[in-house]
Amino acid sequence: MPYAIDDALATALVTLHPHAARHAADPVRDALQRLLDEEHARRGVPDATGALSFRALTQGTLLKEEFDLSTHAHHAGWTVGALIVDVKGMIHVNVQHGFAVGDALLKSVVSALRAQWPDARVVRLQGDNFAVLLVPSSGLSVSEEMRESARARLAHEVRAALPEGADVPGFTLALLELTIEEPTHWQVLGPLVWGELMRAYTLQERGLAGGLQHRRLRLGGFIPEKADP
């Protein structure tokens, strides 16, 4: 059923995305759709590739339950493992074969990662960059062996998404084990994890790191018990 939107509300909506509104046939509808898409992303609704948005990690509650269930986090630190996957040369894939093939390729990447680690969380960090998060509830830990097994599975799945005879793109694969000591609250985890994932990928891509990267961040968030008088 239709709902009325007054001029003030319509203007406020369009103001949220002024650049996009200039090119939209229906600016108000476009602004509403963008708000819905962003909120769904925060709440962990998978995108068209099947991956979770980075917003679920940095702005949503993706790690809340993971923190609540990790009783050891208050003593030994909260630990998450990750495999970061970046598809090389996506621009060339889109130019040579079209965006529909490019979209199918990215879906195949996510499908391969989810099939290989079904209990992990696959997050889209940016356009063609994904992370497999081995969260505590998965019972999984990151290891060097993940790199080559992932590379083989990805090549197989991606080949099926490309036209016959097309070159299979390469991948940059980075491994990270991150421990956050004395976290103050679950809400601080997501932005810290996202930042370290991007850092680990950048170091790997630039040849400044190899193998499994280890990182420990100490937040010092514990509140000591009051001493007896």
* All domains in the chain, ordered by first residue: 9-42 (no CATH), 52-218 (3.30.70.270)
Sign of the dihedral defined by the CA atoms of residues 189, 190, 192, 198, in that order: positive
Please give the distance of CA 44 from its chain centroid, rounded to a whole number: 10
Instruction: Tell me the per-residue pLDDT of 83-128, one tens digit each, with 9 for 90 and over.
Output: 999 999 999 999 999 999 999 999 999 999 999 999 999 999 999 9
Q: Are strands 121-126 and 171-181 parallel, antiparallel or unpaired?
A: unpaired
| Contact by Cβ (8 Å): 4, 21 | no
Candidates 16, 18, 13, 40; CA nearest to 29 is 13
Confidence of residue 29 (pLDDT cuts 50, 70, 90): confident
Instruction: Tell me the per-residue pLDDT of 122-139, one tens digit each, with 9 for 90 and over.
Output: 999 999 999 999 998 899
Count other C-beta atoms under 10 Å from residue 44's C-beta: 16
Euclidean distance between CA atoms 54 and 227, whole angstroms: 42
The predicted pLDDT at position 213 comes to: 98
| DSSP string computed for 126-182 | ETTEEEEEE-GGGT----THHHHHHHHHHHHHHHHHSPTTPPPP-EEEEEEEEEEES
| pTM value > 0.85 | yes
